[in-house]
A and B are shown apart, each in its own frame.
Chain A
């Protein structure tokens, strides 16, 4: 059994390791996209402008209401059909394949950002109005107030929620195996089919996800210590 998991031509260890890298890379690539989009949507949601709030709410309603798998298919097949239409207009016969990594990034990023916007929104609400007024009184511009006063506190408040979302994102990347990305699930699936040891390999897949979750929780503990360092110095 250990032979099956060993690295090298006889075992599947290197394939699974490569799959793990793909999973982690996809999650890490989606994270900044989701964070930035989520922050922008949260800004819209806490705006005084009703139309901005409504527009932001439509976004979250859609991407929190759709199953992640369906979002992925919509992006993947939708983009494929769109590209083919455009190519046909230009007059090229194309069998263009959409990159499944990119499709996964967009779909998971949309889902992540709509949940993240809620986390940011509640963090915004936890920051007292006096902080903005204080910034204004010091002569800071709105942008400076946001960057120097609000954002450092916001990050601290939002961190637990965001770390939760990161774990969800890590698990959701498993779906991208369905559209052909060679992540953990796909690699272990191939191994399971070839060796007929499905329980072993899917069990290993679960353990790898668990290990990633544990590693991330260590990382988040470190980030939280770093973000809270000024809190303790007071």
Chain B
């Protein structure tokens, strides 16, 4: 008697896929292991270096620094958004008298370091103290805080103007022409037809710009504004404890990641109608 299974039933399964330890897989796991070890070392270091009095002394300072950073970025991004609109429209204008100065403005602020701009405003304008006092503006330019706001606003306005321009120009001409043939005015066309479509394109760059501003804002610590970075520097210079910088790094990373995830979420929800 034969135990052989009829040939038709003998289904030949493909051999189970062997997950071989290829070189890439080895390398990937090794690198992940290194990251894991580094993370573990960081936790061990922070636990070992934990000092209750240090925390009690500097946690409020860090918190106030974080608030200063957020205020600085919030105010200058909002003011910059207002300022960027006329700049962007001037830049798109066919009239050279408008477009060239706008181009120069954008080129200057995008082509020079934010640090140099902050110095130019804070130290540079301080040189004109008698003149500023005569105009009554010295109270403004004396404060590093307001100088930082001014420099950051001018800087982000230049970047945002380019975002606006790119977004508006990404909307096809036919949209303008269609609206014109329906008898809509230009401003109404912009507000109701162009802007909603441009905003979808602009959202991600805007999110990136806010992240860049948060990171860039760390330089105000150099012109004596006590933002998160400033408080960190102060804490380090008093304690010479390296964990002060580690904590700042963690706070900045969390802040930036939260913003990035928020941008992703918003983008997903406003492009719902484009997904199939």
List residues of A whose CB falls within 8 A of some B CB: 44, 47-56, 58, 61-62, 64-70, 73-74, 77-78, 81, 167, 171-172, 174-175, 177-178, 184-185, 189, 192, 196-199, 202-203, 205-206, 209-210, 213-214
Contact = CB atoms under 8 A, between A and B. Distances in A.
A133 B27 CA distance: 25
B251 to A, nearest CB: 10
Interface residues of B, number: 48
B60 interface: no
A217 to B, nearest CB: 10
Contacts of A167: 111
B126 A77 contact: no
B218 interface: yes
Contact of A70 (B108, B242, B245): B245
B86 interface: no
A209 B111 contact: yes
Contact of B126 (A74, A185, A198): A198
Contacts of B27: 49, 52
Nearest to A201: B124
Nearest to B25: A49
B24 A185 contact: no
B28 interface: yes
Contacts of B117: 206
A66 B253 contact: yes
B204 interface: no
B242 A199 contact: no
B116 interface: yes
Contacts of B34: 55
Interface of B: 22, 24-25, 27-29, 31-32, 34-35, 107-108, 111-117, 119-120, 123-128, 214-219, 221-222, 229, 232-233, 236, 242, 245-246, 248-249, 252-253, 256-257
Given A171-B113, A192-B123, 6 more contacts: A52-B25, A52-B28, A56-B31, A74-B245, A171-B112, A199-B123
B16 to A, nearest CB: 19
8 contacts: A50-B28, A51-B32, A52-B28, A68-B218, A69-B218, A174-B115, A192-B123, A199-B128
Majority SS at the chain A contact face: helix
Nearest to A58: B35
A54 B112 contact: no
Pick from A167, A192, A197 the residue with the most CB of B within 10 Å. Answer: A192
A56 B253 CA distance: 16
A67 B116 contact: no
A68 B116 contact: no
B111 A77 contact: no
B227 to A, nearest CB: 10
B31 A52 contact: yes
Contacts of B113: 171-172, 174-175, 185, 209
A178 B123 CA distance: 16
Given A49-B28, A52-B27, A174-B115, A66 B249 contact: yes
B111 A67 contact: no
Contacts of A73: 233, 245
A198 B123 contact: yes
Nearest to B260: A65
Contact of B112 (A62, A68, A196, A206): A206
Nearest to B216: A67
Contacts of B256: 64-66
B213 to A, nearest CB: 10
Contacts of A66: 215, 249, 252-253, 256
A47 B252 contact: no
